[in-house]
Structure 1
Amino acid sequence: MENKSWFQQPEMIVGLSALLVSLVAVGVALYSAYIDRAYARASVWPRLEVGRSFNSDVYAYLVTNNGTGPAVVKWAELTLKGKPQIHWDQYMASIAGDKKPDADKIHYGQSHISTSVLPATKQIKVMSSDEPELIALLHKASSETELKLCYCSIYDECWTTSWKQPQPLAVDECITPQQAFSQ
């Protein structure tokens, strides 16, 4: 009788085959879990876009969620000429300068955007006005104004965006700036 090596024995061939099939099955399961997780993240991916709407009747700052999931807005920052503005009244006074319109011409509507949740495919008017004098001031200051947001998905993946930076920029986390916009 011939003495076979350990790996040539039928029991070992069956055992090694079972081990190989098991390792392949574990690899497929891990890859499937990775794909499932990526799909789950993509199915609730927010994408905020900050914009302005202007015509002769209304001027508005808008935030739209064009993503597939809710956006958890952590903070907003409004700057004029690089200087942070704390609320809309300060911003309105800054853009008016010495040419302040009559008090009855500074009417505007606003919605809270900081620390809010914006559902997918929804839009919010952050600020709007239909007063002609204020529309002229807002339009004139638009090139020196920036509204920046930091927002996260429900999986705590975070981005910043503004109308001067239309492509969202991934960040590790949303750390609130010292002079965040409080509205």
Structure 2
Amino acid sequence: MFKEKIKEPEVIMSICAIFLSLLAVGVALFEANIARSQQKSSVWPYLEVLGSNINGTSWRVSNKGIGPAKIKDVKVTVNGAPIRSWKQWLVSLDSDFAWPFTQSTLNGRVVSPGESIGFIKLNPKAIEKLKELIKGGVQIKYQICYCSVYQDCWVTQSIDSQPVNSCKKSETSFQH
């Protein structure tokens, strides 16, 4: 009796309709996934940290992406030791800290596409001292963790950003 029912045109049409419906749902899910990827890439931030020796020494964060970047965490180390403020950074480089400098906070800042934010600038005389220290083996490293509006996050140490699951502050996070 079951084999006889399957041969009826209504049953065959129903089975085809169910199959096509499932196929349509699969295509819709695939298209939704593509649309989500396109939305995320349409607001993709890309931070670069750049240094300059014009009129002193300065470092800037520039957003070369097409979406805003929210800076969630900054880490700075000198010879592997975590630094929590620019003043501590300068003192760690030279115990006779007498370098005038200009600073800006990065943590919590939103960097718009095309925007560049200077975060520290040393006076022109300080560049020679800094060059001496670097030639002497002082290693200065930084790491900036930032997220897009969709909470996709990356870490950059210069111009190479790597994706991460999230940005988490720690006891060694930079404060100023």
TM-score between both structures, scaled by the size of structure 1:
0.85
CA distance in 1, matches of 2:129, 2:5: 88
Residue 176 of structure 1 is aligned with which of 154, 169, 175?
169
Q: 2:88 maps to what in 1?
A: 90
Deviation at 1:20, TM superposition (A): 1.8
Match of residue 66, structure 1, among 64, 81, 86: 64
Structure 1 unmatched runs, 5+: none
- Matching of residue 126 in structure 1 with residue 125 in structure 2: no
Aligned to 1:159: 154
Give 2:142's match in structure 1, choosing from 125, 147, 170. 147
Distance 1:123 1:82 in 2: 27
1:20 corresponds to: 19
Secondary structure in 1 aligned to 2:125?
Answer: helix
Alpha-carbon RMSD? 2.0
Q: Amino acid of the residue matched to residue 156 of structure 2? A: T
Unmatched runs of 5 consecutive residues or more in structure 2: none
Query: Does the residue aligned with 2:52 lie in a helix, a strand or coil?
Result: strand
Counterpart in 2 of 1:138? 130
Q: How many pairs does the alignment contain?
A: 172
The partner residue of 1:113 within 106, 119, 137 is 106
Residue type of the alignment partner of 2:166: E
Once the two structures are superposed, what CA deviation does each residue of 1:49-105 show, in whole Å capped at 9, x if it has no partner?
1121124x32111111111111111111111111111111111122123xx37x4xx
Query: SS of the residue aligned with 1:5?
Result: helix
Q: In structure 2, how many angstroms separate the alpha carbons of the residues matched to 1:175 and 1:167? A: 19
Pair 1:155–1:141, CA change in 2 (3 A): farther
Identity %: 33
Offset of residue 141 of structure 1: 4.2
Give the 4+ runs in structure 1 shifted more than 4 A: none
Deviation (angstroms), 1:9: 0.6
Give the TM-score normalised by the residue count of structure 2: 0.88
> Structure 1 residues 140, 169: closer, same or farther in 2, change over 3 A?
farther
